[in-house]
Structure 1
Amino acid sequence: MNDLTELRDLFADKAHPTADRLAPARTALLAEARAKRRPRAAGLRRLMLAGGLVAAMAAGVIVVQTFKPAAPASAAEVLRLAAEAASATPWPEPRDDQYLHYERIAETRSENGVPNVGPRHITGEVWESVDGSRPELWWYKPSKSRPQNREYKKLLTRCPGRGGPAYADLRGWPTDQEQLRHKLAEHGKKMVLKKDIATQIWRAGTGILGSPMPPKLQAAIFKLAATLPGIETEELKDATGKSGIAVTRVDNLGPGGAISRESFIFDKTSYVLLGGQELVPGQGRELWSITRPQITDVLPAWSTSLKPGGCV
Structure 2
Amino acid sequence: MDEMTRVRELRADAPAPDRARLAPGRARLVEAARTAERRRSAWGRRKLVVAAAFAAVTAIAVTATVMAQGNQAGRKVTPAVSPSPSLDLKGMSTRELLERAAETVERQPPVVEPRADQWIYTKETQEGGDRDIDIENWLRYDGTASAFDPMGMVGKKGGEVQITPMNLEGGGDDDRSPRQMYHFVSTLPTDADGVLKALREEDAIADEKGRSQAWNDYTEISVLLDAYVLPPKGVAGLYRALATVPHGTVVGHLVEDGAGHRAIALRFPRGGSDSAEAADEWLLDPVTYQIVGERMIENGKVIGGNAYLAKAVVDKAGRRS
- Asked whether the 8 Å contact 2:119–2:316 carries over to 1, the reply is yes
Q: Quickly say closer, same or farther: Cα 1:88–1:103, change in 2 above 3 A.
A: farther
- Asked whether the 8 Å contact 1:123–1:141 carries over to 2, the reply is no
- Residue matched to 1:272: 290
Deviation for aligned residue 1:230: 0.8
Paired letter, 1:288: N
- Residue matched to 2:136: 125
For the pair 1:98 / 2:118, whether they are aligned, the reply is yes
Q: Quickly say closer, same or farther: Cα 1:205–1:92, change in 2 above 3 A.
A: same
- Residue matched to 2:241: 224
Deviation for aligned residue 1:221: 0.9
Alignment of 1:112-191 (within 5 A): 118-132=129-143, 134-139=144-149, 155=164, 157-158=166-167, 160-163=172-175, 166-173=178-185, 174-176=187-189, 177-185=192-200, 186-189=203-206
Q: Quickly say closer, same or farther: Cα 1:120–1:194, change in 2 above 3 A.
A: farther
Q: What SS does the aligned partner of 2:180 have?
A: helix
Mapped partners of 1:153, 1:253: distance in 2? 40
Which is strand-richer, 1 or 2? Answer: 1
Mapped partners of 1:187, 1:198: distance in 2? 15
Q: Quickly say closer, same or farther: Cα 1:184–1:126, change in 2 above 3 A.
A: farther
Alignment of 1:1-312 (within 5 A): 70-72=87-89, 73-90=92-109, 91-108=111-128, 118-132=129-143, 134-139=144-149, 155=164, 157-158=166-167, 160-163=172-175, 166-173=178-185, 174-176=187-189, 177-185=192-200, 186-189=203-206, 192-212=208-228, 213-234=230-251, 235=253, 236-252=255-271, 259-280=277-298, 285-291=303-309, 293-300=311-318
Q: Quickly say closer, same or farther: Cα 1:87–1:124, change in 2 above 3 A.
A: farther
Q: What SS does the aligned partner of 1:70 have?
A: coil
Q: What SS does the aligned partner of 1:172 have?
A: helix
Q: What SS does the aligned partner of 1:187 have?
A: coil
C-alpha RMSD of the superposition? 3.3
State the structure with more CA Rg. Answer: 1
Query: TM-score by structure 1 length?
Result: 0.57
Q: Quickly say closer, same or farther: Cα 1:258–1:83, change in 2 above 3 A.
A: closer
How many residues are paired up? Answer: 211
- Asked whether the 8 Å contact 1:104–1:126 carries over to 2, the reply is no
Q: Quickly say closer, same or farther: Cα 1:123–1:227, change in 2 above 3 A.
A: same
Deviation for aligned residue 1:193: 4.7
Query: TM-score by structure 2 length?
Result: 0.55
Greater relative contact order, per chain length (Cα 8 Å cut-off, separation 6+): 2
Q: Quickly say closer, same or farther: Cα 1:76–1:140, change in 2 above 3 A.
A: farther
Deviation for aligned residue 1:141: 7.5
Deviation for aligned residue 1:278: 1.9
Q: Quickly say closer, same or farther: Cα 1:156–1:139, change in 2 above 3 A.
A: farther
Per-residue CA distance 1:235-279 (angstroms, 9 max, x = gap): 43322122322111114479xx99531111112344332211123
Q: What SS does the aligned partner of 1:189 have?
A: coil
Paired letter, 1:178: D
Per-residue CA distance 1:124-160 (angstroms, 9 max, x = gap): 222222121x211133678xxxxxxxxx956362552
- Asked whether the 8 Å contact 2:295–2:302 carries over to 1, the reply is no
Quick one: percent identity of the two aligned structures?
18
- Asked whether the 8 Å contact 1:231–1:247 carries over to 2, the reply is yes
Deviation for aligned residue 1:175: 1.7
Where structure 1 has 5 or more consecutive residues not aligned to the other structure, the ranges are 1-67, 109-117, 143-151, 302-312
- Asked whether the 8 Å contact 1:124–1:140 carries over to 2, the reply is no
